[in-house]
Amino acid sequence: MSAPPAAPGVPPLLREPAPRVWHLGPLEDDPVAAGPRVMVAGVGYWWQRDASFGLAAVDALTEHTWPPGVRVTKLDYGAIYVSQDLLAVNPPYNRLVLIAGMERGREPGEVYVSRWTGADADPEEVQARIFEAGAGVVDLDHLLVIARHFDALPEEVVLIEMEPVETGGGLELSPAAVGRLDEVVELARREALAPFPASLKAEGVRC
């Protein structure tokens, strides 16, 4: 079934959402990719306008060629299952680049890049986020807190966030968000392919 037509003057997403895959499964052993491994992932729901920005960015990123050891995917399912999938990867990822549309009261349409170094959350916060994730809520902060709780995060976690302009139901990104896609693709490639610190072990380190 094709996606509904976009409203006049509003650019659509890159393509209609693909069927959901609930688990990533582990990376297959690849002797060519014996060094550090990287996951580049969009986080969020479809049909949420600019809050779906990370998923649209991944569609654009999949059009690029990536070296062995880099996986580009969509994390559009619960943080508990994502944590399990990250833990199942052997050897584990060394770097995680997460892309999402996140409302944080910043300038709408702007892109923000940061390194996540969050401390362990208190048990009450972890439990509340696990409850919401178990109920089907897909949220970048849920993913970070829950995956940290289960020791599923790699040593390096990079966040690329766009402050949404338009949210609510709908398949289309706002014109401002569409205008940021090329920039975010280049940012994600830069962060994913950046040299690793000499101290980083090739077999992977979880934080």
- 90 CA to centre of own chain: 20
For the cut 60, the answer to whether the pLDDT of residue 30 exceeds it is no
Task: Check if CATH label 3.40.50.1450 holds for domain 35-193.
Answer: yes
Single out the residue of 70, 150, 148 nearest to residue 116, CA to CA.
148
Percent of the chain residues topping a pLDDT of 70: 79
Count other C-beta atoms under 10 Å from residue 145's C-beta: 20
For the cut 90, the answer to whether the pLDDT of residue 6 exceeds it is no
Q: Could you state, in order of their start, the residue ranges of all structural domains in the chain?
A: 35-193
What is the side-by-side strand order in the sheet with 156-162? 70-75, 38-43, 95-101, 156-162, 111-115
Look-up of token digits 């299952």? 81
Q: d(Cα 167, Cα 28) in Å, to the nearest integer?
A: 37
**34 pLDDT tier (thresholds 50, 70, 90):** low
